[in-house]
Every structure is written in structure tokens, then in C-alpha cells.
Amino acid sequence: MTTQVIVLNGGSSSGKSGIVRCLQAILPDPWLAVGVDTLVGAMPASMQASDAGIDFAPDGQVTVGPEFRILDAAWAEGIAAMARAGARVIVDDVFLGGAASQQRWQKALAGLEVLWVGVKCESAVAAGREIARGDRTVGMATSQAEVVHQGVLYDLAVDTTHTESLACAQNIATRVRC
């Protein structure tokens, strides 16, 4: 059956966005790319500094509040509806809740053909790339590198520690059914 959704899960600075852009470039059909950054950018600015929304602590810890969860759940329903309506969608996310985060997506994407991809990167390397990016709170990469994969089941995993984004994308693309 044709793949309808690709879900990439990985910690901050693990290289998800680069892989997404390469996938969009090499896959024969057009794919929409929507990620957690898209969702955060769609929220009110005030929610990024409130206990109800999403909080980026100076040490890189990210916590989300009840209002974030409500919008996040509705967002996932919307993404699923886009796929059911015929758009092919690449989702990138950070499963802060590990297996529980995956279960929420599985529920939203029920009935759709999903390719689950883990994007891994050694913590020290991701932390270095976080410095090189310069636009992220230092510490996020390290605090998320392991926890986001706990208990999560994948169809395949890629590791950006020693492999370029394009090569990771080419690997993923071999598993996408057109």
C-alpha cells in the first residue's frame, strides 16, 4: 500500500529538518512538510512563555502545559485529515513523552499507511551542532537525545552522527512506497 505519512522523530539538532528537505527534493511526488516547529510558530507568542504553553528553560529543558497539549492533539488530527484528503505528508516531531507520544500519533493517524523513522545522533555531536546553529537554547540537544526514543518503535532508524542528511534521506526513500 502507498505510504501516506512519514513520521520522523528525533531530539533537537539531530538533523530532522535537513533530512525532510532532502526527502522533499528526491521523492518523485510532492510531499508537504509540517513539523513541531510549524506548530510552535502557529501558536500565540505568549504561549511560549507561560506554564500553559511551552517553556524553553535556560538549561534546554522543554516542558509543555495543558493548553499546548490541547492544540497539539487538534494539530495531529488536522495533519491526519490532510493525508486522508490526499496530501502526502512528512511530519517531524520531538517525542518528549517517548512511547506515549507515539501512541498519540498512532491514534490520530489510524487507518493511514505510516512510515515511522527514528533520527538518532550521538549526544555530544548534536550538542556541537546546536552551538553551530546558534539559534537554539544550548542544552536541548543533550537533554532530548536519548529520552525521545524510549519505547518508540520504528520501521527504520537513521543516524546522522557520521551520515549526511542526503544519504539518510536516500535510505528512507527506499522504504517509501509510491
Q: Does 40 bind a second copy (CB under 8 A)?
A: no
For Cα atoms 34, 88, 99, give the angle at the middle one, nearest 5 degrees: 60
Annotation marks residue 37 as catalytic = yes
Catalytic residue among 29, 37, 55, 135: 37
Q: Give residues with Cβ within 8 angstroms of 14, minimum separation 6.
A: 119, 120, 121, 126, 141, 145, 160
Q: Does 7 bind a second copy (CB under 8 A)?
A: no
CB of 43 to a second copy, least distance (A): 7
Q: Which residues, 68 to 107, sit near a second copy by CB under 8 A? A: 70-71, 73-75, 77-87
Cα–Cα distance for residue pair 23/93, rounded to 1 Å: 16
**In this chain, which of 6, 34, 64, 117 binds a second copy, going by CB under 8 A?**
34
Cα–Cα distance for residue pair 141/90, rounded to 1 Å: 22
For a second copy, the binding residues (CB under 8 A) are: 17-19, 21-22, 24-25, 30-34, 38-39, 41-47, 52-53, 67, 70-71, 73-75, 77-87, 125, 128-129, 131-134, 162, 164-167
